Structure 1
Amino acid sequence: MNGWPTGVGRRVFDTIDSTNIYARAIVNDGASPVWIMAHEQTDGVGRRGRAWSTQRGNFAATYLADIKDDLNTVALRSFVAALALYDALIDVGVSADRLSLKWPNDVLLDGGKVAGILLETAGVGPSHICIGIGVNLAHAPEPDKMETTATPAKSLLGDVGLNISAERFLDALAPAYDARETQFRANGFDSTRSDWLAHAARLGETIVARTPKGDTVGTFETLDQTGAVILQTAKGRCAIHAAEIFFT
């Protein structure tokens, strides 16, 4: 990877409640774009409000940036971030054939979750995007602390034997995200979508999309231009815009 991206700030904390909370608190300080990282996170929140605390040795960070697009386009940054994570994991020594991307915002190692992404907006308008990222560098959550239906967790140390510090990973992730963001701005979603699909988990296979209204079972065909997952079901093609994905 190249060096630290020009014009991007860096703030590293020993312990913090949540990097996303901190990011939201500084939206009016003129600090963005900036990476905010903590060696320990005590009160983080994941998707759907789930607890997302971070043990020492793991990676927790938020990228705070000004919003310069409409909100639908901003939401596509989950795919940009997923590709940046994929690139950074390869940069620190993970073999590409062990990695895949799970819609909408997880990175898998040998089929188990090693990293996740949470997008939030902040400020009036809103004015900023907060991209929260967690990576199991040294520790994977214990199975009894996870939902029974959750994708099994993996870690770089436990499953690959790589001992990567959080700051070393940040040094890989920041330029990787900068490169993927540049690609997105230059080419729109098309090239990002194509690259994401090239690494998609279970593409062409049967998956389950679970929403509050129930489960939709179908063959994972592609992503559309909005980032929705397209399933071929018994009732025809179906676009899923928000759901929990489960593998059969």
Structure 2
Amino acid sequence: MTRPRWSPAAPVPTRPPHARTLDEIVAAYTEQIETVQEAGAGVIVMASRQLAAAARGPEDYHRVYGELLSRADRPVILHWLGEMFDPNLAGYWGSKDVAEATASFLALIREHAAKVDGVKVSLLDAEHEIGLRAALPEGVRLYTGDDFNYPSLIRSGSHALLGIFDAIAPAAAAALRALDAGDLDRYDEILAPTVPLSRKIFEAPTYNYKTGIVFLAWLNGHQDAFCMVNGAQAARSLPHLAEVFRLADRAGLLTDPELAVARMRSLLAVNGL
């Protein structure tokens, strides 16, 4: 019997998807928005690979999003997902230059401010986020998606809508309670040890972060197996996962240490370690 060998999965091809027409993109978005609204839920308009492939400039983004916002029955959240999370989204809002893309994004928001609850920004750039937050129209929130710098960004006024909060939920809940109570020292104390863990999980290639999130869910007993769609559990190396395990332990995020250790040992054993 051949011993299994743990190695990162092959990179997912980053070829842009077939570009649909703008009308088709609007129709697809509209169907999803209507489904969400009919369920009584709030709408988050995610970034579109199809739109990134089809758009020829800022005006195409403004056309598509303008039509969508006009059909929303309540303010929505717009998501700007950086290319580190998905290479197919490079040049979103009409330019690969971040300053130009930001100007286009702000122009869209200002034109439709009454229909925008807030924007989620996932660019992993704290300085850019702070500048964008200050430039937003009054009443439009900034939801941080910065999994590297979230403690200071939330502390200074960004709202939280973060992938890492799935993995650090107990610490995040306690920290936000401290923040609400005005205990900033306690807030910083709780979140500080979670940052090295988050930066490890979201290190380049960032789009493989889901492997670390699922790995911690498995260690903490939230799922029966460390197994993901399309074999994505192999997207990170065994040394990477071992470091995630160590950092989660240092942050006090292994809710059942005995179970976590047993599962970590089983993963090492099946890989001959």
Task: Identify the TM-score tier after normalising by the shorter chain.
Answer: under 0.3
Flag the structure with larger Rg.
Answer: 2
The structure with the greater share of residues assigned to helix is: 2
TM-score by length of 1: 0.27
